[in-house]
Chains A and B, each alone.
Chain A
Amino acid sequence: MKIKPDEMLKINTKPPKAHWMDVPPDFSEGKYLYPAKPKTLEYLHLPNPRDWSPADEDWKLPENWQKIIHDGFKERLDKYRSLKVFMDICVRCGACADKCHFYIGGGDPKNMPVLRAELLRSIYRNDFTIFGKLFGRLAGARKLTPQVIKEWFSYLYQCTECRRCSVFCPYGIDTAEITMMGRELLNLIGVNINWIKDPVSNCSRTGNHLGIQPQNFKEIIEFFCDDIEEITGVKINPSFNRKGAEVLFVTPSGDAFADPGTYTFMGYLMLFEHIGLDYTLSTYASEGGNFGLFTSSDMMKKLNAKMYHEAKRLGVKHIIGGECGHMWRVINQYMDTMNGPADFLEVPKSPITGTVFNSAASTKMIHIAEFTADLIRNNKLKLDPSRNDHLRVTWHDSCNTARAMGLLDEPRYVLNAVCNNVFEMPPSTTREYTFCCGSGSGTNTEEIMEQRLRGGLPRANAVKYVHDKYDVNMLGCVCAIDRAVLPPLMDYWVPGVAVTGLHELVGNALVMDGEIERTLNLRMEDLPGAEGDTDE
């Protein structure tokens, strides 16, 4: 990144002189996401596939694009009370303004949630309200021009649907909801981004966002098992697509693909082996995440359908889901409604502790942190937290698990059982007040690195606080996107802090049956106190 951190911290919060409707969006290089390739859209049967660039003057919109947007808007107003109410009741009190990480890190007034919503409201007023039709701009309405579409594209992808603003809004107006609707509308005219559409297309075909084919998926996991054997001496043979297993385990494919998510995957495998769980992995339902959520409710439903479909085919009793943020937004708030009822499954019951998870009585799917916390609570795991003693860990609540679920204390309970040095970030930045990594909702791509670093500033700055104060050197999280994007964020703002998933820490602390004396952690680094280490 060319801009140095102290340069980036000089944030201009003064709004421009011109009315916001007259300020055009910036499409210079590095300020926009690359559009979806025509081939991808064709594969997904999505409208208006073409070669184009946001930097172009002409976006090659379909001929009747205004009508498509108008009709699409109307359809969504009739389908979603949320949209209708949120279009109408904002009083522009401004309480949301400095709650958005992009606004805090960038100062662009259109990143104040209220103004982001006004981008759509102005069209809503023009098309659907009496005052807007009568008084136009005086009533906050404006005509739908190509520049409006460009502005939507720019700012609806500078929102990561993290819902932090909705915690503070006196009416609970949720910008994520508005952004989701706006992105759906843009999709109707073929204005979408490659970083979301490619994974969606991959996921449709291979079962996961990264396009890992079945044989490769198996190879990757077997490779993890080789590493685990080298580290622990325990040979693990997980099963794939096995009918009659008790549990289907689904986790984001990011954990199979890149560090440090891979270590978290190894942690899952070790845990399940240790407790003797009768489970199987699926190469078909090999994705917990769901980039359909960032496209449209239809796409979300289609991608999510695989989980229940596969659980039914394999005849499992229930599903355990891995560490992921937006995956759990979908599972908690959408899955059962969209693809249920899961009446072919049973209410999840831990085969190890006998605990019945009534909190998942209908979805029949539990979060691995819930599952592991229950194991630890019932003393089913032998843990040696001192193996994590070289780590001073702080905990990042992922937006979706925090504000669209409330999974807050389960991971903390596990964390405190497997680590001796845990330090919380300031309360205004954790739990329901947690800050987004800055790269959520399908925007975790290189071309907009500045936007990501700016959006990640509030999170990184809170980490810096505990890094400076308590020498924190590890940032824990339960989100695969976090694990992918927090490392570069830390390198930029808080060098010296690494990133880990919860179950990597579990895997390190876990004392497995028949294991050799551990000298390496899951990253193949020497453990403190082990041979060759002179510190202790």
Chain B
Amino acid sequence: MIVNILMSLVAVVVLGAIAFAGGSVPGLQMVFGIWIPYAAAVIFLLGFIWRIFKWAKSPVPFRIPTTCGQQKSLSWIKHNSIDNPTTTKGVILRMFFEIVTFRSLFRNTKSRVIGDRVSYEWEIWLWLAALAFHYSFLTVVIRHMRLFLEPVPACIGIIETLDSFFQVGLPVVFASGLVLLGAALYLFARRVLIPQVKYISMIADYFPLFLIIGIAGTGLYMRYFLRVDIHAIKQLTMGLVTLKATVPPANVSPMLYAHLFLVSALLIYFPFSKLMHMGGVFLSPTRNLANNSRIKRHINPWNPDLEFVTYEKYENEFREKMIEAGLPVEKES
């Protein structure tokens, strides 16, 4: 299983090295700076949509929400309208808490058998790391919009101000990049250190983690150590986004190509991987359906017509015994 880790790591290092080398060769800068990012963006978008359609194509024959609270029944029994919703509003709230606060993961406990006792303790670290990981990633992505928009919208400035809240000295340090790297490293460490999680982990788990660690690492390195020329980079990114990409400026660091290539790899990999949980969570029938199948009939589009043992058949088999036992029958003989 260590081989899964090594192969994922090697793959990411090789990808980064190829782009770094390529970015150092003037002729290949077009490829790594323009063509691959374009291709990646297209594959990501089309792939994402394709996957969602593929899921959506399959119907939801039954209403199978996991109910996590009191049902709506008698008027005087307090109904849990979020964890056991009966209305669309309730479902929207449930999904909101699920997607924005990772509510189910928040419930996480750790169970242990100690002596003759099975004990459960609240285990918050996975939830905390997951939340830190996703929100810092989101912040980083939003901050990067600065490179693709001219003029830069005010909201990005506000996010940057918040992100640099713990600022001490120059250059401005954004918490999000560091948190992203830290959270990704924590998630990796957890995968390796918890024997059960290590046992189930595959390349598909390590590879995207290393990719993201690589992306965060190259990004932080460029910002705080190389102090790359941000104007040259913006010239490149604005060219990309306005579809007027020309030969990238010569003073762009090869490290940017490594960074950009890893991002491209992530985008290309995304629709074909578990990262699609981003879209899939919205389609999960145990969360996005109301528990109202006793109130309103849910329709199964392929509901089959099946022959079952009707009362008539039953009575035909047992009629004499039924009559003898004094049970009412439809036909006397």
Residues of A within 8 A of B (CB): 5-6, 9, 11, 13-15, 19-20, 77-86, 88-95, 97-99, 104, 109, 112, 114-115, 118, 129-131, 138-140, 163, 166-174, 177, 204-207, 213-215, 218-219, 240-243, 283-284, 297-298, 301-303, 305-306, 309-310, 313, 331-334, 336-338, 340-341, 355, 357-363, 365, 370, 373-374, 377, 402-410, 413, 426, 428-429, 431-433, 457-458, 461-462, 464-465
Chain A residues, Cβ within 8 Å of B109:
98-99, 168, 428
Chain A residues, Cβ within 8 Å of B126:
93-95
Q: Nearest-CB distance from A381 to chain B (Å)?
A: 15
Q: Nearest-CB distance from B225 to chain A (Å)?
A: 32
Q: Nearest-CB distance from A329 to chain B (Å)?
A: 9
Chain B residues, Cβ within 8 Å of A309:
308, 310-311
A168 to B127, CA, bound (A): 11
* Cβ contact within 8 Å between A82 and B293: no
Chain A-chain B contacts (Cβ-Cβ < 8 Å), number:
323
From A139, A169, A171, A461, give the contact of B204 (CB < 8 A).
A139
Chain A residues, Cβ within 8 Å of B202:
92, 139-140
A457 to B119, CA, bound (A): 12
| Residue tally, chain B, CB below 8 Å to A | 100
Do A338 and B274 form a contact, CB below 8 Å, given A170-B281, A174-B66, A333-B64? no
List 14 additional A-B contacts (Cβ < 8 Å) besides A82-B64, A337-B303, A374-B74.
Answer: A79-B61, A89-B277, A90-B277, A109-B200, A129-B272, A130-B272, A301-B308, A309-B310, A336-B297, A337-B61, A340-B297, A360-B295, A363-B293, A403-B67
* Cβ contact within 8 Å between A215 and B321: yes
Q: Is the interface of B mostly helix, strand, loop or mixed?
A: loop
A409 to B72, CA, bound (A): 10
From A14, A204, A337, A410, give the contact of B309 (CB < 8 A).
A204
* Cβ contact within 8 Å between A241 and B54: no
Chain A residues, Cβ within 8 Å of B287:
171-172
Q: Nearest-CB distance from B228 to chain A (Å)?
A: 33
From A19, A297, A338, A359, give the contact of B72 (CB < 8 A).
A359
Please list the 9 inter-chain residue pairs (A to B) with the smallest Cβ-Cβ separation, ordered nearest first: A406-B71, A89-B280, A215-B325, A172-B286, A406-B67, A15-B199, A172-B287, A89-B277, A428-B120
Chain B residues, Cβ within 8 Å of A78:
57-58
Binds A, one of B77-85, B171-179, B215-223, B232-240: B77-85
Q: Nearest-CB distance from B291 to chain A (Å)?
A: 6
* Cβ contact within 8 Å between A92 and B201: yes
Q: What 1/0 flags go to B291-311 for Cβ under 8 Å of A?
A: 101111111101110111111
* Cβ contact within 8 Å between B274 and A88: yes
Q: Nearest-CB distance from A336 to chain B (Å)?
A: 5
Chain B residues, Cβ within 8 Å of A114:
200
B244 located at the interface, meaning its Cβ lies under 8 Å from any Cβ of chain A in the complex? no
* Cβ contact within 8 Å between B318 and A214: yes
Residues of B within 8 A of A (CB): 1, 7, 51, 54-64, 66-74, 76-78, 80, 83-84, 86, 98, 102, 104-105, 107-111, 113, 115-118, 120, 126, 130, 194-205, 272-274, 276-277, 280-281, 283-287, 291, 293-300, 302-304, 306-311, 314-315, 317-318, 321-322, 324-328
A145 to B66, CA, bound (A): 33
* Cβ contact within 8 Å between B118 and A461: yes
Do A93 and B130 form a contact, CB below 8 Å, given A6-B116, A358-B295, A405-B291? yes
Q: Is the interface of A mostly helix, strand, loop or mixed?
A: helix
A363 to B71, CA, bound (A): 15
Chain A residues, Cβ within 8 Å of B118:
104, 457-458, 461-462
Chain A residues, Cβ within 8 Å of B286:
82, 166, 172-174, 177
Q: Nearest-CB distance from A333 to chain B (Å)?
A: 6
Chain B residues, Cβ within 8 Å of A167:
66, 68, 104, 107
Chain A residues, Cβ within 8 Å of B59:
79-81
* Cβ contact within 8 Å between B317 and A205: yes
* Cβ contact within 8 Å between A405 and B295: no
Q: Nearest-CB distance from B238 to chain A (Å)?
A: 34
Q: Nearest-CB distance from A194 to chain B (Å)?
A: 20
From B1, B281, B297, give the contact of A171 (CB < 8 A).
B281
* Cβ contact within 8 Å between B77 and A373: yes
Do A166 and B66 form a contact, CB below 8 Å, given A213-B321, A303-B308, A413-B77? yes
21 A-B residue pairs with CB within 8 Å: A11-B113, A81-B60, A91-B277, A93-B105, A93-B126, A104-B113, A167-B68, A172-B98, A174-B286, A204-B308, A204-B309, A214-B322, A218-B325, A301-B308, A359-B74, A361-B295, A365-B294, A377-B76, A406-B80, A407-B71, A461-B118
Chain A residues, Cβ within 8 Å of B84:
406
Q: Considering the complex, give the chain B residue whose CB is closest to the CB of A174.
A: B286
Q: Nearest-CB distance from A285 to chain B (Å)?
A: 8
* Cβ contact within 8 Å between A98 and B110: yes
Chain A residues, Cβ within 8 Å of B291:
332, 405-406
A177 to B285, CA, bound (A): 10
Q: Considering the complex, give the chain B residue whose CB is closest to the CB of A370.
A: B73
* Cβ contact within 8 Å between B302 and A112: no
Do A336 and B298 form a contact, CB below 8 Å, given A15-B195, A377-B74? yes
Do A461 and B63 form a contact, CB below 8 Å, given A93-B130, A360-B295, A403-B68? no
Chain B residues, Cβ within 8 Å of A284:
311, 314-315
Chain A residues, Cβ within 8 Å of B328:
240-243
Chain B residues, Cβ within 8 Å of A6:
116
Q: Considering the complex, give the chain B residue whose CB is closest to the CB of A45.
A: B307
Q: Nearest-CB distance from A239 to chain B (Å)?
A: 9
Q: Nearest-CB distance from A466 to chain B (Å)?
A: 13
Q: Nearest-CB distance from B85 to chain A (Å)?
A: 10
Q: Nearest-CB distance from B160 to chain A (Å)?
A: 29
Q: Considering the complex, give the chain A residue whose CB is closest to the CB of B63.
A: A333
* Cβ contact within 8 Å between A170 and B102: yes
Q: Considering the complex, give the chain B residue whose CB is closest to the CB of A357.
A: B73
* Cβ contact within 8 Å between A171 and B277: yes
From B294, B325, B326, give the contact of A360 (CB < 8 A).
B294
Q: Considering the complex, give the chain A residue whose CB is closest to the CB of B302.
A: A79
Q: Considering the complex, give the chain B residue whose CB is closest to the CB of A114.
A: B200
Q: Nearest-CB distance from A172 to chain B (Å)?
A: 4
Interface centre among B73, B76, B126, B310 (most CB of A within 10 A): B73
Chain A residues, Cβ within 8 Å of B7:
138
Q: Nearest-CB distance from B307 to chain A (Å)?
A: 8
Q: Nearest-CB distance from A455 to chain B (Å)?
A: 12
* Cβ contact within 8 Å between B297 and A337: yes
Chain A residues, Cβ within 8 Å of B71:
359, 405-408
* Cβ contact within 8 Å between A333 and B293: yes
Q: Nearest-CB distance from B170 to chain A (Å)?
A: 38
A58 to B328, CA, bound (A): 50
A500 to B278, CA, bound (A): 45
* Cβ contact within 8 Å between A298 and B306: yes
Q: Considering the complex, give the chain B residue whose CB is closest to the CB of A13.
A: B196
* Cβ contact within 8 Å between A172 and B111: no
Chain A residues, Cβ within 8 Å of B309:
204-205, 207, 302, 306
A413 to B70, CA, bound (A): 13
Q: Considering the complex, give the chain B residue whose CB is closest to the CB of A428.
A: B120
* Cβ contact within 8 Å between A410 and B77: yes
A85 to B328, CA, bound (A): 50
A104 to B113, CA, bound (A): 8
